Copies of this chain bind each other. A is one copy, B any other.
């Protein structure tokens, strides 16, 4: 099934043209991100916490120390919302009213489940690492049993999901096109700067190829 079925809760109502429900778009947005925002409730107060994540097929994994309030709370099985947003540009219109931004976002609604089976948990840790830096996992010391136990992993099925995408230039009111003001888009991009070796290194190590060619 290549499309998510919009529900009452995921159907994009405001500016519906921006709604996307195909898995390819959703996967691509998720796979090019590093940090998502997880929303959950504690005693009726919403919390929104940035965290790392990884996707495998139709499952999103989030993790953190077992000490984290967020993870203790959501592992009890309460509803969560996970949102990932890329900001792609500033849309500068001729009127204040039509200023906007270009972006790609994914909103996932669901219930987070605690991942307890060790093999799935280890696989999730591999996916977190590879989400941050593809190729990294095979280079580094992998988790010990103790580290695996100290890490809480949660999974959320990609079932109730929508994406929203805005691209292109400003859309102004007809009568504003004659105004003597520059209008257009300032594209924004997240770029990697030269890698900074750890000051605490014992010896210089060559920069791995996956780091030299890094792009998300």
Q: Which residues of A contact B (CB under 8 A)?
A: 9, 13-14, 34-35, 37-41, 44-50, 52, 64-65, 67-69, 79-83, 85, 87, 90, 92-97, 99, 101, 103, 105, 107, 109, 125-126, 128-129, 132-133, 136-137, 139-144, 147, 150-151, 169-170, 172, 176-202, 205-208, 211, 214
Contacts and interface: CB of A to CB of B under 8 A. Distances in A.
27 contacts: A14-B68, A14-B69, A34-B101, A37-B83, A39-B39, A39-B46, A41-B44, A44-B79, A46-B79, A47-B107, A49-B83, A87-B190, A95-B147, A96-B125, A96-B141, A99-B140, A140-B179, A169-B199, A172-B200, A178-B202, A182-B205, A183-B197, A186-B192, A186-B193, A186-B195, A187-B195, A190-B190
A206 B180 CA distance: 9
A133 B186 CA distance: 10
Given A99-B140, A182-B207, A184-B201, 16 more contacts: A34-B87, A35-B85, A37-B39, A40-B46, A41-B41, A45-B79, A45-B109, A95-B140, A99-B136, A101-B132, A139-B182, A182-B205, A183-B198, A184-B198, A185-B198, A188-B192
Contact of A193 (B69, B147, B187, B206): B187
A96 B50 contact: no
A35 B208 CA distance: 33
**How many copies of the chain does the oligomer comprise?**
2
A9 to B, nearest CB: 7
A208 B151 CA distance: 50
Given A38-B48, A39-B48, A185 B195 contact: yes
Contacts of A141: 94-96, 176, 179, 181
A101 B188 contact: no
Contact of A96 (B85, B129, B190, B202): B129
A117 B214 CA distance: 49
